[in-house]
Structure 1
Amino acid sequence: MPKPDPSKAPPAFYRLRDVVRITALSRSTLYRRISEGRFPAPVHLGGRTSAWRSEALQVWIDDPDRYRSATPPK
């Protein structure tokens, strides 16, 4: 079995510009869906920085129509 190449592993977190590019959703649509529980919420990384966990984003990518947030939005 070949050894996994760490250089091809996805990043742990994606910033907003990457999420917009990956999902083809606008910033306002992303935040509206977050408030509705239909898109994963970003994680606060410190200061004014937040990003999306790659695992959470992949769950949404796998089935965007059925995605529901595990925790209710604040």
Structure 2
Amino acid sequence: MISPHPDRILRLNTVLDRTGLSRSTLYRKIADGTFPRQIRISRRCAGWREHEVEQWARNPISYQVEDYR
């Protein structure tokens, strides 16, 4: 099903505000596979898909990145 609203890309400060995580905790969780990975927007810019951050926020304890190795 296609969402009626396009998925926004959130920048670091917005993700930190929405999750309440510190920067170091956020990157540690990404490395552990317990927080969504950021996507490359441009050469020096990255962000997170809003729906993935919202999915994490609904269940942060048991969240796992699907293709985590």
Is TM more than 0.5 here? yes
Of the three residues 32, 39, 53, the one matched with 1:36 is 32
Find the counterpart in structure 1 of residue 58 from structure 2.
Answer: 62
Q: TM-score, normalised by structure 1?
A: 0.80
Q: TM-score, normalised by structure 2?
A: 0.86
Percent of pairs with identical residues: 35
Q: CA-atom RMSD, angstroms?
A: 1.7
Find the counterpart in structure 2 of residue 6 from structure 1.
Answer: none
8 A contact 1:10–1:54 mirrored in 2: no
Specify the code of the residue in structure 2 equivalent to 1:44.
R
In structure 2, the gaps of 5 or more residues are none
Find the counterpart in structure 2 of residue 19 from structure 1.
Answer: 15
8 A contact 1:42–1:52 mirrored in 2: yes
